A and B are shown apart, each in its own frame.
Chain A
Amino acid sequence: MSIAAQDDLNVPDAHYVRVGQVDALPPPIAASGAIGWMRANLFSSPANILLTLLTAALILWIVPPVIEFVFTHAVWSGADREACLPTADRPEVGACWAFVRDRFSYFIYGSYPIPERWRVDIFFAMLAIGIFWMLWLEAPRRDLGALYFFVIVPIVSYILLTGMPLLGLRKVDTSLWGGVLVTIVVSWVGIVFSLPIGILLALGRRSTMPAVKLLSVIFIEFVRGVPLITVLFMASVMLPLFVPDAYSPDKLLRALIGIAMFASAYMAEVVRAGLQAMPKGQYEGAMAVGLGYWQMMYLIILPQALKITIPNIVNTYIGLFKDTTLVVIVGIFDFLHTVEVSRIDPKWAAPTTSATGYVFAAIFYFIFCFSMSRYAKGVEARLGKADRR
Chain B
Amino acid sequence: MSIAQDSGPPKVSLIYDPKVRSIAYQVILCAIIIFLAYSAVRNAIDNLARAHIASGFGFWNQTAGFDISQTLISYTAQSGTYGRAFWIGLLNTLLVAAIGIVLATIVGFLVGIARLSKNFLLARLSAGYVEMIRNVPLLLQLLFWYNAVLKALPDLRDSWSLPGSIYLNNRGFFAPYPIFSGGIELVVAAFVVGVIGALGFSIWARKRQEQTGQQSPVALVSLGLIIGLPIIAFFAAGMPATLEFPEKGRFNIRGGLEILPEFVALLIGLTLYTGAFIAEVVRAGIMAVSKGQTEAAGALGLRTGPTLKLVVIPQAMRVIIPPLTNQYLNLTKNSSLAVFVGYPDLVQIFTGTVLNQTGQAVEVVSITMAVYLTISLLTSLTMNWYNSRIALVER
CA distance A358 to B43 in the complex (A): 42
B372 near A: Cβ within 8 Å?
Answer: yes
Q: How far is the CB of B312 from chain A (nearest CB, A)?
A: 19
CA distance A240 to B359 in the complex (A): 13
Indicate the size class of the contact surface on chain A: 35 or more
Q: Which of A323, A358, A365 gathers the greatest number of chain B CB atoms within 10 Å? A: A358
CA distance A244 to B135 in the complex (A): 41
Contact B125 A234 (CB under 8 A): no
- The one of A208, A212, A234, A328 in contact with B29, judged by C-beta atoms closer than 8 angstroms, is A212
B351 near A: Cβ within 8 Å?
Answer: yes
Chain B neighbourhood of A243, CB < 8 A: 40, 43
- Can you identify 27 A-B contacts, CB atoms within 8 angstroms? A41-B118, A41-B119, A42-B119, A51-B117, A210-B26, A211-B29, A222-B373, A224-B376, A225-B373, A226-B333, A227-B333, A228-B333, A230-B368, A233-B347, A233-B365, A233-B368, A234-B365, A241-B44, A318-B135, A326-B139, A328-B139, A336-B137, A336-B143, A340-B143, A362-B140, A369-B136, A373-B135
A77 near B: Cβ within 8 Å?
Answer: no
Contact A322 B369 (CB under 8 A): no
Closest 4 CB pairs of A and B: A369-B135, A225-B376, A242-B40, A211-B26
A245 near B: Cβ within 8 Å?
Answer: yes
A383 near B: Cβ within 8 Å?
Answer: no
B107 near A: Cβ within 8 Å?
Answer: no
Secondary structure at the A interface, as helix, strand, loop or mixed, is helix
- The one of A208, A229, A343, A365 in contact with B140, judged by C-beta atoms closer than 8 angstroms, is A365
The proximity string for B residues 349-364 relative to A, scoring 1 for CB distances below 8 Å and 0 otherwise, is 0010001000001100
Q: Select from chain B the residue with minimum beta-carbon distance to A323.
A: B137
Q: Select from chain B the residue with minimum beta-carbon distance to A340.
A: B143
B47 near A: Cβ within 8 Å?
Answer: yes
Contact A51 B119 (CB under 8 A): yes
Q: How far is the CB of A353 from chain B (nearest CB, A)?
A: 9
Contact A365 B135 (CB under 8 A): yes
Chain A neighbourhood of B136, CB < 8 A: 322, 362, 365-366, 369
The proximity string for A residues 314-326 relative to B, scoring 1 for CB distances below 8 Å and 0 otherwise, is 0000100011011
Q: Select from chain A the residue with minimum beta-carbon distance to B47.
A: A241
Contact B336 A227 (CB under 8 A): yes
The proximity string for A residues 52-64 relative to B, scoring 1 for CB distances below 8 Å and 0 otherwise, is 1001101100000
CA distance A369 to B373 in the complex (A): 29
Q: How far is the CB of A237 from chain B (nearest CB, A)?
A: 4
A17 near B: Cβ within 8 Å?
Answer: no
Chain A neighbourhood of B140, CB < 8 A: 325, 336, 358, 361-362, 365
Q: How far is the CB of B134 from chain A (nearest CB, A)?
A: 8
CA distance A215 to B34 in the complex (A): 12
CA distance A329 to B125 in the complex (A): 35
Q: Select from chain A the residue with minimum beta-carbon distance to B145.
A: A358
B 329-361 contacts with A by CB, 8 A: 333-334, 336-337, 339-340, 347, 351, 355, 361
CA distance A325 to B121 in the complex (A): 33
CA distance A250 to B393 in the complex (A): 54
Contact A42 B121 (CB under 8 A): yes
CA distance A373 to B122 in the complex (A): 22
CA distance A253 to B236 in the complex (A): 67
CA distance A92 to B144 in the complex (A): 20
B138 near A: Cβ within 8 Å?
Answer: yes
Chain A neighbourhood of B40, CB < 8 A: 242-243
A209 near B: Cβ within 8 Å?
Answer: yes
Chain B neighbourhood of A241, CB < 8 A: 43-44, 47-48, 361-362
Q: How far is the CB of B142 from chain A (nearest CB, A)?
A: 10
CA distance A244 to B131 in the complex (A): 46
B120 near A: Cβ within 8 Å?
Answer: yes
Chain B neighbourhood of A240, CB < 8 A: 47
Chain A neighbourhood of B134, CB < 8 A: 369, 373
Chain B neighbourhood of A72, CB < 8 A: none
- The one of B43, B125, B152 in contact with A244, judged by C-beta atoms closer than 8 angstroms, is B43
State whether A358 and B144 are in contact (beta carbons under 8 Å apart), knowing that A211-B29, A241-B361 are contacts in the complex. yes
B180 near A: Cβ within 8 Å?
Answer: no
Chain B neighbourhood of A365, CB < 8 A: 135-137, 140
A71 near B: Cβ within 8 Å?
Answer: no
Q: Select from chain A the residue with minimum beta-carbon distance to B326.
A: A224
B30 near A: Cβ within 8 Å?
Answer: yes
Contact B135 A225 (CB under 8 A): no
Q: Select from chain B the residue with minimum beta-carbon distance to A234.
A: B365
A 338-372 contacts with B by CB, 8 A: 340, 343, 351, 354-355, 358, 361-362, 365-366, 369-370
Contact A211 B339 (CB under 8 A): no
Chain B neighbourhood of A32, CB < 8 A: none
- The one of A52, A209, A245, A336 in contact with B22, judged by C-beta atoms closer than 8 angstroms, is A209
B95 near A: Cβ within 8 Å?
Answer: no
Contact A55 B368 (CB under 8 A): no
A44 near B: Cβ within 8 Å?
Answer: yes
A 254-273 contacts with B by CB, 8 A: none
